[in-house]
Chain A
Amino acid sequence: MSLEVEARHRVGAFTIDAAFTSDGSVTALFGRSGSGKTSLINIIAGLLRPDSGRIVLDGDVIADSERRIFTPIHRRRFGYVFQEARLFPHMSVRKNLAYGRWFAGAEKSASQFGRVVEMLGIGHLLDRRPSTLSGGERQRVAVGRALLASPRLLLMDEPLAALDEARKAEILPYLERLRDETRIPIVYVSHSVAEIARLAERVIVIENGRVQASGDAAVILSQPAAVHAMDWREAGALLEGVVESHDSAHNLTVVRAGECLVRVPQLFVPPGHSVRLHIAARDVMLATVRPEGISALNVFEGTVIDLSPDEKASIDVRVQCGGNVILARITALSRDALQLAPGKSVHAIIKTVALDH
């Protein structure tokens, strides 16, 4: 798939002037709240008509202000999962799911319905009313409803933002399955590094209505532009890895990233599958000697690349570990106590449970 977006739009004093192209299966629009990412996705959906711009999907011109082309929302066949589920309160879950299917033409109905329901684990909810569902269940139904409309493109606007951590953890695996099992390209809006690290292939960093940076997720998320757009507490490193094996007795998965074997809470993907791990800098400890008798499962030997200058009371240390760069956030006091300097060999310690997104 290839998506080409170009939009200029003024709302009061705020101006959106963004253009990007993406050919990834999941494209993330990443930025702080108020950066204009929701407006941008609404422009793609057709909910917001920009002052000028164009949208082209796979060579098909969806909108072009110069050529006066504007396909109305309901003819775009772009599925949209909103931040709030927006289920129809007067319909059962089953009817909500079937709503878009009807407009898409019911030809591949029954088997597809069953597959989507099974994939999202919502079979037991079909006869319930949306008001009786939990937030996580609602959001899964909303995803199913969008999917069953047979969209050419799936738009997701912070689908997890309104949920607590436990619900997020509940839904993320479903979104990963969605990405891997359906061939529908996704545009995913989020300000969460953890979500984007797990899901996105391409990342577009949006700030003040403009594109700050764009490219491969692993590259972009470690760049200063992205770090600036993310929550300071979330800053960290992104590791590209491959699932090595599963330890089902302990509900763990071993991921090989470079020469490091990282133990993480169980991932439901087969061995050989590539995954991306986001390791927040605040979850990484450093030791100058190999620690003994410690509960943390991941201890990697490495060398310090550089240290960030003093800001606040803490500093970020970049450590080279078996072909990966890991970011550790420690206090300035620890830096002095351990006499950390570029080139010094250290051990990076990461608790497995801290990797449970």
Chain B
Amino acid sequence: MDWMALSDAEWTAVRLSLRVATVAMLSSLPLALLAAMVLARGRFWGKSVLNGLVHMPLVLPPVVTGFVLLLLFGRRGPIGAFLAENFGIVFSFRWTGAALACAVMGFPLMVRSIRLSIDAVDRKLEDAAATLGAGPVWVFLTVTLPLILPGIIAGMILSFAKAMGEFGATITFVSNIPGETQTLSSAIYTFTQVPGGDAGAMRLAVVSVVISMGALMLSEIFAAFAAKRSVTA
């Protein structure tokens, strides 16, 4: 099994990918929950525009998304410059930029998943909670949120899996710097570009398959658990 031993550089790529995917997933969660709630429940002018905007990364070529991020969040981009000057947050050519790219790419998947579960919530239960004295915030926290938890978890795992595989937007936005922005996917790509890199590409591919399968199985377990819990009464 010698050929399966990962080199330090490869381990770095794996660790970086896990970190980028985790940060991307967690940081996009609050915003995705808000967007899903607004899209599922809100009634306002321009809702279809918001819906389109949220789903944009799903239909745009990833390279275009990466390029737009570069324009907006790059060092001279309007948002990037503002954040760098006022908060010292820099995205371009940093792992944080990779996380941002992954978060943006996974966002529509997470929103969709959460929104579907919000649509499935029996609003009569929320009415019942209100008649028992719960104000809107409490209704959300004690009834809606627990009932959509399966959708939230599924959305998180989808976003995580998407981040693990993200390539186009990341490489366009933050390039392919070993130890900083070289994720699993970019590392595999790099291996395939050099003579004799097949073995390395194969090793990382196996790691990638294992992580993806693990995430998928985890989501199945959560889904089964949630289905058992939320049989409607």
* Contact among A47, A99, A130 with B127 in the assembled complex (CB-CB below 8 Å): A47
Minimal beta-carbon separation of A89 from chain B (angstroms): 5
Q: Which stretch (A75-83, A184-192, A234-242, A320-328) binds chain B?
A: A75-83
> For residue A78, which residues in chain B have a CB less than 8 angstroms away from its CB?
131
For the complex, give the distance between the alpha carbons of A74 and B135 in Å: 6
Q: Among residues 65 to 120 in chain A, which have CB atoms less than 8 Å away from a CB atom of chain B? A: 72-80, 82, 84-90, 99-100, 103-104
Indicate if A338 sits at the interface (CB-CB under 8 A): no
Interface size classification for chain A? 20 to 34
Indicate if A133 sits at the interface (CB-CB under 8 A): yes
For the complex, give the distance between the alpha carbons of A285 and B230 in Å: 52
For the complex, give the distance between the alpha carbons of A335 and B153 in Å: 72
Indicate if A45 sits at the interface (CB-CB under 8 A): yes
Minimal beta-carbon separation of A236 from chain B (angstroms): 34
For the complex, give the distance between the alpha carbons of A161 and B127 in Å: 20
Task: Write the chain A residue with the least CB distance to B145.
Answer: A90
For the complex, give the distance between the alpha carbons of A102 and B146 in Å: 18
> For residue A129, which residues in chain B have a CB less than 8 angstroms away from its CB?
231, 233
Indicate if B118 sits at the interface (CB-CB under 8 A): no
> For residue B43, which residues in chain A have a CB less than 8 angstroms away from its CB?
none
Indicate if A138 sits at the interface (CB-CB under 8 A): yes
**Interface, chain A (partner B; CB < 8 A):** 45, 47, 72-80, 82, 84-90, 99-100, 103-104, 129-131, 133, 138, 145-146, 149, 155
**Interface, chain B (partner A; CB < 8 A):** 122, 124-125, 127-136, 138-139, 142-143, 146-147, 229-233
Query: Known contacts A74-B130, A74-B136, A89-B230; can you find 14 more A-B pairs with CB under 8 A?
Result: A77-B133, A78-B131, A84-B124, A85-B233, A88-B128, A89-B231, A99-B129, A100-B133, A100-B134, A138-B233, A146-B132, A149-B131, A149-B132, A149-B133
| Ranked 7 nearest A-B pairs via Cβ | A103-B133, A100-B132, A130-B233, A80-B131, A131-B231, A86-B128, A73-B130
